[in-house]
Each structure stands twice: as C-alpha cells, then as structure tokens.
C-alpha cells in the first residue's frame, strides 16, 4: 500500500515536472515566434532571422515531442493504476473465497482481513472496539481453522498462492 | 472496499489541464481588473495567455483521453439534457467535462482566442519587449518611434478604423470572459453539491481520492 503510494507519487511528480517544463518551453516559443515574425518583416534575408527561425522551429518540435512523451507517461501511470485495481480486486476475491472455505464467521473474517493487512492485536482490538483477549482468541481460531501455525504462515498462504499462479 | 467504485469515475485532471486552467483564470482576472490596458505588464500577461491557450489546444489534440477534444465534443442537445438533470438534482458522472461544461469550455476558448487576437491587432503584433522599448523611447523624448509607427501604417484611416474596431471587440470579449467566469463558478458550486463531491479539488490537486 505504502509502496504503491510512493511509486505513484514519484510518477506524479515526474508528470508535473515535465508539464512545467513544457509550459516554460511554450511561453518561450510564443515570444520567439513573435520576435521571428517581426524580424521577418524587417529583413527576411538576414543571418539573424534565419538562425532565429531555425532555433524556434527546433523549439516547436521539442514541444511537440515533449507533449507526446507526457501523454504517454500519464497514460502509463493510469494503466498501472488500473492493473493494480484489478489485481487488488482479484486478491480480495481469492481471500474472500478462502475464508469461506475455512468456514470463518463474519467477525473472524474481519479480523483475518485486518491481520493480513498487517495490523497487530492491539490495533485490531481498537478498530473493532473489542478487548485484546477477544481478538487474540479469534486469531487463534482462524489459525487453527486454516491449519497454519501462526500469523507468518497465515499471510504466506495467500502470497504463496499469488507466486504459484505467477501473477505479477 | 466500496471506495474503488466511487473513486474510479472521479476525473483526474492532468497537470497541463490544471496549469493552463488556473494560469488563464489568473491572467484574465489580473488583466481585466488590475493592469492598465496597453501597459507593458498587460501585454506581457496577454502573451503568456496566448502561450497557455496554445499549449491547451495542442494538448486537446495530443493529450491523454480526458483532456482531448474527442472526450467532450460540443453537443448542445446533451448540454440541455444535462442542465435539466441538474435542475432535477440527478446528475451523473462523466469521464471528462460534462456536456454543459464542455460548451462552457469551448466558449471560453473562443473568447480567449478573440481577446488575444484583438490584443495583437491593437499592439500591431509587437512583442512585449518591443512595446517596452518603444514606451521607454517615447518617455525619454524620442518620438521617432511613433512617427515610424504611423509611417508603417501608410494605408492610413483603414488601419486606424480596424484597430478601433479591434479595441471594441477586445473589451466586449474581456467582459464576456468575466461573465463566463462567474457563470462557471456558479455552475461548479451547483454541480459539486449535486454530485456530493468537490469539483474544485481535482482541478487544484489532480486528486483522485474522494
């Protein structure tokens, strides 16, 4: 979860940087084009005009390339996010089904989810407004129903599933 | 667990859309209310506005889906339907601008283009640097710039009349822009209330979460 937020933050910072860069280029381009046009009116044959016109043309090309690149970056970020959403939904389904197979009660399912998310007993107890002893007892029951030795194996159960199926 | 669904159709505006939106808004307000027409800062900002508009229009052709013109074609019938829905209080989410908002966007762009074009006519297409140079020259007592200028438009009164006309259009377009802006702000508030989410936050931060 945090890793995902971080990588997205980086992507978003990159698109913002590239956008600002494009903006500066465009502002520069507009002024250059204005200058080139007035130079053209004065003396179209001068070296100054030819040179400046070439530079401006290069700038315009750069802006177009930058635009396409930025669009590609934004679309890549969006598709990554979508893939993540799908994967998250799929994993949620897998967990739901497995919990049902194990015959967990609704309360145990909730606690199981929170435990998978990495919350410790105290946090789960606080979230659910229950005593820590209750949560500990629920976790023990979950582990025994799942036939795992403890929290590490419980979490590994689903990760192993993912790795086995080769879902990236 | 229910959040991904509500989240997925909240539009995420990309940085170019956001920068050009707030940049144009800022420049229009500043040039309409603060800077003096024809002054050097006014012309500088006008050229900046031209750059923003240009960038946004290029982005409308080459940008990602939500920013492209094809995502919000001008459709008055759909716009009316949307307004009727809004009055009835049952609006739906759109992947880009809603149909009424789309018309507003095109109206804005048309007015911005008009304001920029007439501004260029009024200054004879001079860059802000030239305007500043000419002004400095006149202030230092060198009136030759003015003579050269009036020499340049040797076609005389026609040109003069053309510039006066441009000035009229410039003012009308600027006032229309302010009127549109007020309309736009009102619509955003109404729509935000109908959709029960802030439409301003995504435009400010590009935020996707609720």
How much of chain A, in percent, has pLDDT values that exceed 70?
Answer: 90
- Which of A22, A31, A85 is nearest residue B16 as measured by Cβ atoms? A22
DSSP one-letter string for A13-66:
HHHHHHHHHHHHHHHHHHHHHHHHHHHHHH-TTSHHHHHHHHHHHHHHHHHHHH
φ, ψ for residue B110, nearest 5 deg? -60, -45
Q: What is the mean pLDDT of residues A42-49?
A: 83
Pick the more confident residue, A94 or A64: A64
Contact assessment for residue A144 and residue A154, using Cβ atoms and an 8 Å cutoff: no
CB–CB contact A16 B15 (8 Å): yes
Q: Look at residue B126 in the predicted model and tell me its pLDDT.
A: 84
Q: Look at residue B86 in the predicted model and tell me its pLDDT.
A: 85
How big is chain B, counted in residues?
210
CB contact A70 to B (< 8 Å): yes
Q: What is the mean pLDDT of residues A38-57?
A: 86
Pick the more confident residue, A44 or B114: B114
Give the ipTM. 0.79
Among the listed residues A63, A148, A138, A83, the one whose alpha carbon sits nearest the alpha carbon of residue A108: A138
Q: Write down the pTM of the prediction.
A: 0.75
Q: Look at residue B7 in the predicted model and tell me its pLDDT.
A: 42
Rounded CA gap, A28 and A37, in Å? 14
How much of chain A, in percent, has pLDDT values that exceed 90?
Answer: 30
CA B30 to each of CA A138, A154, B24, B41, B54: distance values in angstroms, whole numbers, following the listed order: 63, 61, 10, 10, 19
Q: What crossing angle do the helices spanning A151-165 and A132-146 adopt, rounded to 10°?
A: 50
Angle at B190 between CA B189 and CA B195, to 5 degrees: 100
Q: Which among A101-105, A147-151, B91-95, B176-180 has the top mean pLDDT? A: B176-180
pLDDT digits (tens, 9 = 90+) for B145-154: 665 555 444 5
Q: What is the mean pLDDT of residues A7-22?
A: 83
CB contact A67 to B (< 8 Å): yes
Instruction: Quickly state the pLDDT bin for A151 (edges 50, 70, 90).
Output: confident
Question: Which residue numbers of B have CB closer than 8 Å to A's CBs?
Answer: 1, 4, 8, 12, 14-16, 19, 23, 47-48, 50-52, 54-55, 58-59, 62-65, 125-130, 206
Q: Look at residue B207 in the predicted model and tell me its pLDDT.
A: 60
Interface mutation target, options B2, B127, B133, B204, chain A, most CBs of A under 10 Å: B127
Q: What is the mean pLDDT of residues A32-52?
A: 86
pLDDT by 10-residue block (mean), chain B, 210 residues = 39 86 95 89 94 95 91 91 85 85 94 95 86 85 63 59 87 94 92 84 68
Domain B7-205: top CATH class: mainly alpha
The mean of the pLDDT values for chain A is 85
């Amino acid at each position: 979860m945090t890793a995902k937020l971080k990588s997205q933050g980086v992507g978003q910072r990159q698109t913002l940087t590239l956008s600002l860069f494009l903006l500066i280029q465009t502002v520069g381009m507009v002024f250059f084009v204005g200058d080139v046009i007035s130079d053209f009116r004065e003396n179209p044959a001068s070296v100054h005009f030819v040179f400046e016109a070439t530079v401006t043309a290069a700038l315009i090309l750069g802006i177009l390339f930058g635009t396409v690149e930025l669009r590609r970056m934004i679309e890549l970020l969006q598709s990554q996010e979508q893939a993540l959403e799908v994967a998250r939904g799929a994993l949620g389904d897998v967990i739901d089904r497995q919990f049902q197979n194990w015959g967990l009660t609704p309360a145990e399912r909730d606690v199981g989810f929170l435990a998978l998310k990495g919350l410790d007993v105290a946090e789960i107890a606080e979230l659910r407004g229950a005593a820590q002893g209750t949560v500990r007892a629920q976790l023990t029951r979950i582990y025994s129903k799942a036939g795992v030795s403890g929290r590490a194996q419980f979490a590994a159960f689903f990760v192993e599933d993912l790795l086995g199926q080769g879902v990236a | 667990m229910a959040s991904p669904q509500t989240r997925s159709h909240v539009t995420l505006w990309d940085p170019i859309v956001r920068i050009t939106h707030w940049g144009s808004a800022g420049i229009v307000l500043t040039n309409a209310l603060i800077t003096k027409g024809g002054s050097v800062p006014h012309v500088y900002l006008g050229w900046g506005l031209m750059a923003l508009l240009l960038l946004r229009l290029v982005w409308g052709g080459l940008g990602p889906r939500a920013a492209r013109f094809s995502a919000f074609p001008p459709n008055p019938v759909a716009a009316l339907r949307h307004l009727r829905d809004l009055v009835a209080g049952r609006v739906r989410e759109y992947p880009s601008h809603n149909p009424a908002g789309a018309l507003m966007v095109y109206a804005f762009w048309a007015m911005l283009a008009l304001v920029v074009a007439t501004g260029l006519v009024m200054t004879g297409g001079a860059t802000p640097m030239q305007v500043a140079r000419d002004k400095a020259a006149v202030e230092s007592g060198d009136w030759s710039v003015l003579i050269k200028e009036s020499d340049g438009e040797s076609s005389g009164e026609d040109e003069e009349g053309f510039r006066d006309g441009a000035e009229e259009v410039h003012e009308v377009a600027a006032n229309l822009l302010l009127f549109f802006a007020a309309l736009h702000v009102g619509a955003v508030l109404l729509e935000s209330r109908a959709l029960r989410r802030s439409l301003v936050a995504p435009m400010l931060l590009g935020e996707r979460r609720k």
